[in-house]
Structures are given as structure tokens and as C-alpha cells.
Structure 1
């Protein structure tokens, strides 16, 4: 599920609006950092998957060799 921060500011006073905008910017920054981390984890998992698939193919080849 993707979280999309709200685009509207609900505060009426200028100070509160500024604070709310700051919080929204911080939330966006956090989401970008999370996204970057998840992409890095995904790259690692994809690499490990390739290694495991290669190992499975090697083991399959060893199993089909006549003894």
C-alpha cells in the first residue's frame, strides 16, 4: 500500500500553516528515504535470488549426472 501525504494545509494561522508545511516536507523526506532504503534492499534480494537460482541449477545438474 502506498502512502500519499495530503496536499492541502488545514491550519488558519500563518504560524500553524508554516509548521504544518514543515511537517509535510519532513514526511515527504522520510518517505523518500524509506523508498531509497527499500530499493537498496530489493537490489540485494535480487542479487541473492540470482545466486540461489544458479546454485539450484548446479545442484540439478549434479543430480541428473549418471553415477
Structure 2
């Protein structure tokens, strides 16, 4: 449970990336958020339930729409 006020978004919330960072390891390319989500520098995510979110860089949208 998140101790912050206001509480961080849960791991199943679309705004889950807005949670506070608990551990940051830029040399390894990942950070652990307060809601248990691990975010990677390529914008991929590992959810606490073992689910994954594929990388979703904003540039990917522009590249695919230009094709």
C-alpha cells in the first residue's frame, strides 16, 4: 500500500507511470516505482502480477504514422 498523500496510481491504472520512484538504477536501465511496477529505459514495463507492457516510446507512433 502506498504511504504517500495523495496515493500513487495503482499498477493497473493507465497512469501507473506517475507513481513515485523507490529505486533507480540508470546504469542498468530500470527503476522500481512505489506501486511495484518496474519501468525500463526503453519504456517497457514489468507489472507486479508478472504482466508486461511493451515499449511505447512516443517516437514509435510518429514513425509508424509516417509510413
**TM-score, normalised via structure 1 length:** 0.25
Q: TM-score, normalised by structure 2?
A: 0.25
Structure richer in helix, relative to its length = 1
* Greater percentage in strand: 2
Q: Which has the larger radius of gyration?
A: 1
